[in-house]
Amino acid sequence: MPPLRIATLSHAHGHINTYCNTIRDFDDAELVAVWDDEPERGQKASSDFGVEYRQDAGAIVSDDSIDAVMIGCETNRHAEFVALAAEAGKDILLQKPMATTLADCDRIIDIVARTGIKFSVAFQMRYDPVNQRIKELVEEGVVGNIAVVRRRHCIPVLLNPSFFEGLSKWHVDAEANVGMFFDDATHAADWFLWTFGMPVSVTAEIDNVVTNVAPDDNGVAIYRFESGMMGTLFNGSTTVAGVNTTEIYGDEGTILQDYGDAPSTSAPRLEGAKPLRYIRKGDDAWTEIDLPIPASQGERIAAVPRPWVNYLKGETNTHVSSVEGRRSVEMVLGAYEATKEGRRVKFPIS
């Protein structure tokens, strides 16, 4: 089987560059062309990855030799470009969040179903070995009935003027991206969805607390699940450093994860630090699980292309479906609604 031929539709979202760089080392897939409606950005990607820059998105999707595309445009344009690529029969990796509205999510779901293309949303947390082991521990019932889960997923980008003043400034545009909580908390929302299923309600506080350059800079959402479990999602864009990432408290024990997000990759580590441990009632010591701790958040992001390529080749069915992509968007939009109205919001939301 010849290598899959892959192209890009926009490098507005920087994660696309990490995917491109990772694919360069694959034997069974190759990057063949890039497109961006910002010529400076597109030509830089062309130079960085040694492939052709095409000045028109149509020149990408109309090329029968291209098998799949990675879409990294502004979030509010996702449905437009999914339609363009899917109608041309291209398989798709779509940057998260799936869209800024549930109407656009539904449009994407319909297009994917009608065209039959292979589609996945790019959520790297599902491919992190530590997150996979946490999911296994939960499914095995290691800590019994779970009462409370806290998950932090933070970044320091609003402390960096180049992020909100340069070509990436669309991230802080409410029309293009809703808000920074929406942009980044969707990762943790997908983790909750993947690990525990869809919640039944949410309460939240999302606001600008220490900056004023974006629609919001920090937020906390409390999700309730069918079992009664409370899930606290903390996401901030002004977090300098941190270690503790996940806490899971059950009636039989506790699971703790460290070093699981961007600030924790730059935080000083104790010698011999382990990313995951748990303890059960009656244990006289923690059970430590020795798994690799990425040196940077970029290493986690780089984990996305390999499962996607395997999925395209039919070797696995591992992907994040359009329906799942909609659910994480709904979870985060529900948190915004709860913040605005000062009340508990039940799912599904209208």
112 and 185 co-located in one domain? no
Half-sphere exposure of 82 (CA within 13 A, CB side): 32
Answer yes or no: is 60 within a domain: yes
252/157 same-domain check: yes
Q: CB 44: neighbour CB atoms within 10 A?
A: 17
257-311 pLDDT per residue, tens: 999 999 998 888 988 999 999 999 999 999 999 999 999 999 999 999 999 999 9
Domain that holds residue 100: 4-124+301-320
Please indicate, yes or no, whether residues 58 and 199 belong to a single structural domain of this protein.
no
Q: What is the pLDDT of residues 52-108, one digit of tens each?
A: 999 999 999 999 999 999 999 999 999 999 999 999 999 999 999 999 999 999 999
The whole-angstrom separation of Cα 36 and Cα 115 is 24
CA angle 102, 106, 107 (to 5 degrees): 115
pLDDT for res 267:
86
pLDDT for 256 equals 98
Q: What is the mean pLDDT of residues 39-46?
A: 96
Asked whether the beta carbons of 160 and 241 are under 8 A apart, the reply is no
> In the chain, pLDDT over 90 holds for what percent of residues?
96
Q: Give, in order, the Cα–Cα distances in Å from 172 to each of 169, 183, 221.
A: 6, 9, 20
120 and 154 within one domain: no
Total number of domains constituting the chain: 2
334, 347 contact by CB (below 8 A): yes
3-state helix/strand/coil string of the chain: CCCEEEEEECCCCCHHHHHHHHHCCCCCEEEEEEECCCHHHHHHHHHHHCCEEECCHHHHHCCCCCCEEEECCCHHHHHHHHHHHHHCCCEEEEECCCCCCHHHHHHHHHHHHHHCCCEEEECHHHHCHHHHHHHHHHHCCCCCCEEEEEEECCCCHHHCHHHHHCHHHHHHCHHHHCCHHHHHHHHHHHHHHHHHCCCCEEEEEEECCCCCCCCCCEEEEEEECCCCCEEEEEEECCCCCCCEEEEEEECCEEEEEECCCHHHHHCCCCCCCCCEEEEECCCCCCEEECCCCCCCHHHHHCCCHHHHHHHHCCCCCCCCCHHHHHHHHHHHHHHHHHHHHCCCEECCCC
Query: Does residue 325 form part of some domain?
Result: no
Q: What is the pLDDT of residue 26?
A: 98
- Mean residue pLDDT across the chain: 97
Are residues 282 and 135 part of one domain? yes
Residue 61 and residue 158 in one domain: no
pLDDT average, residue stretch 148-177: 96
CATH of the domain at 73: 3.40.50.720
Burial profile 318-333: b = 16 or more Cβ within 10 angstroms, e = fewer: ebbebebbbbbbbbbb
Residues 113 and 129 in one domain: no
Domain co-membership, 194 together with 342? yes
Which of 20-29, 236-245, 264-273 is the least confident region? Answer: 264-273
Same domain, yes or no: 241 and 183: yes
pLDDT digits (tens, 9 = 90+) for 310-344: 999 999 999 999 999 999 999 999 999 999 999 99
Q: What is the pLDDT of residue 237?
A: 98
Q: Same domain for 29 and 93? A: yes
Which residues lie closer than 8 Å to 331 by C-beta, 6 or more apart?
Answer: 186, 189, 192, 193, 198, 199, 202, 221, 223, 347
The reply to whether the predicted model has a pTM over 0.85 is yes
285 and 307 fall within a common domain:
no
